[in-house]
Structure 1
Amino acid sequence: MNNAELDALSQAVSNEARVLYLLILRPGANTTGESEPLNYKQIKTLLNARKEIITLGRQINSLLTELANVGLIGFHQTTDAEHSLNGKRVILPMLAATQDKFDRLHLGATAMHANWQPDTGLFNQLARLVGLLDARYTEQETGEFIAYWLGRPSNQFSLFQWTQKFVQHLKKNRMASGYQATQRVGNQLVQKTAGVSADENARKLVEKYRAKSE
């Protein structure tokens, strides 16, 4: 277990999702970070050891989505979380990455500073995992994020956490009615010049998040 995984598991995820990750997904993952094929029967048996709480496949999908939202797993491009994932594989990006890389991202906690920049590789990975359709950002957007947190010097986070907060900040702005954009994709607003398009899986993903928020 590396620091990145521990940090993600400490976020707002259910205990059932944590058990799924720690006792099924992680032990069976290969060296590339890909899990064994999901076995709904095995998962139900584990999670219902003392009391039946998981009876439907979509409940398991919901637990997987919790893990995806904090960056612990990712879905293959052809995987549709709206349908059965029994027999499908997921990706464990924090396990696949080198220990040195994530140790560096989690080393120390610092306050925001005027020259802060997100970690590029981590930013792109997290943007994909949370469904941020237009992952480009401007100096103004970075400046607004920095200015906000400069006024809160008591808040100190690792580079991983700062980058994660920046991704969440951008996604929230993309969903805001005042965001200057010329095209809507799902519930996110994007610049038409960015050439952003959503495949069917992306559309379903953003529609699912919008339905949950209403």
Structure 2
Amino acid sequence: MTPAEYQALTSPRLAHPARSLYILYLRHMARGDQTQPLDYPQLGKALAISADGEYRYRVTPAALTALLEELQQAGLLQLVDKPRAQHYHGARFKLPLKDMSGLAPLPARQFAMHGDWRPDPQFEGLAKLCGLLDSRFDEPELGEFIAYWLGRPEVFENQHQWTLKFVRTLKNKRSIKRPPAVTDGYQQQPAKADAEPSKRARQMIEEARRLSGQADGDSNEKDA
């Protein structure tokens, strides 16, 4: 198991059946970094618990679908093809973290977002694994991401998980239709992005920091 897989699997948000499904079946039965077409009856049998000829625990097809989506959210699975829209029976997945064996161990400490946060050096590799071909970003994009999570100080993640969240944010933004290019004669030139953080991004960061400071002050008054 790679350090990246271990970090994703030990997330407290990942259900134990999802961990079992990944470790005992999907990873074990995969060829290279891809699964074979999934067979729901086999998956259900692999997760079922029986004693004295009776089932003590069984997984429904709907529950299997939810577990597979949970593993995708954790970055452990990446959909390759999906023959049916309603579920993942017959679908194939890539295990993107399985080939990251050469990476250094990831920090386990979780922390709330802070104003000086930056994605780690694994950012470009994670972006490609998640299907984000254009991994470039500017300061306004990073500032908006930081400002959003500064307003949610109750959310704690480790560095790898924060970087993965940023990758997904950029991927979602890239999927939105981009503004039309600026026409200059017979050539089309894309509109230039501001080199500095936008005024709105700076305001959001400052406001989030102010609210975070007030929350810390209230907490100290209560403790006193």
TM superposition score category, shorter chain reference: 0.5 to 0.7
**Aligned positions of 1:7-18 closer than 5 A:** 7-11=7-11, 12-18=13-19
Partner of 2:67: 63
The 3 A distance-change label for structure 1 pair 85 and 146 is closer
Whether the aligned pair in 2 keeps the contact of 1:116 and 1:146 (CA below 8 Å) is: no
The 3 A distance-change label for structure 1 pair 74 and 81 is farther
Question: Do structure 1's residue 53 and structure 2's residue 40 form an aligned pair?
Answer: no
Whether the aligned pair in 2 keeps the contact of 1:33 and 1:92 (CA below 8 Å) is: yes
The 3 A distance-change label for structure 1 pair 149 and 14 is closer
Q: CA deviation at 1:83?
A: 3.5
Partner of 2:27: 26
CA distance, structure 1, for counterparts of residue 144 and residue 38 of structure 2: 42
How many residue pairs get aligned? The number is: 169
CA distance, structure 2, for counterparts of residue 15 and residue 125 of structure 1: 24
- Residue 39 of structure 1 aligns to which amino acid in structure 2? D
CA distance, structure 2, for counterparts of residue 79 and residue 147 of structure 1: 35
Structure with greater strand share of residues: 2
Normalised TM-score (structure 1): 0.60
Q: CA deviation at 1:122?
A: 1.0
Whether the aligned pair in 1 keeps the contact of 2:38 and 2:89 (CA below 8 Å) is: yes
Partner of 1:83: 86
Gapped runs of 5+ residues in structure 2? 51-55, 182-189, 191-224
Whether the aligned pair in 2 keeps the contact of 1:61 and 1:81 (CA below 8 Å) is: no
Deviations 1:134-192 (A, max 9, x none): 9764321213445778998xx8843x2331232355578x5xxxxxxxxxx9xx85434
**Aligned positions of 1:42-191 closer than 5 A:** 42-50=42-50, 51-56=56-61, 58-76=62-80, 78-80=81-83, 82-97=85-100, 99-101=101-103, 103=104, 106=106, 114=116, 116-117=118-119, 119-126=123-130, 128=131, 137-145=137-145, 157-158=158-159, 160-167=160-167, 170=170, 189-191=176-178
* Structure number with larger C-alpha Rg: 2
Gapped runs of 5+ residues in structure 1? 175-184, 196-214
The 3 A distance-change label for structure 1 pair 109 and 62 is closer
Indicate the percent of aligned positions where both proteins have the same amino acid: 32
CA distance, structure 2, for counterparts of residue 28 and residue 169 of structure 1: 31
Normalised TM-score (structure 2): 0.58
Taking only aligned residues, the RMSD between alpha carbons, in angstroms, comes to 3.8
CA distance, structure 2, for counterparts of residue 114 and residue 55 of structure 1: 45
Q: CA deviation at 1:80?
A: 4.9
Structure with greater helix share of residues: 1
Whether the aligned pair in 2 keeps the contact of 1:123 and 1:163 (CA below 8 Å) is: no
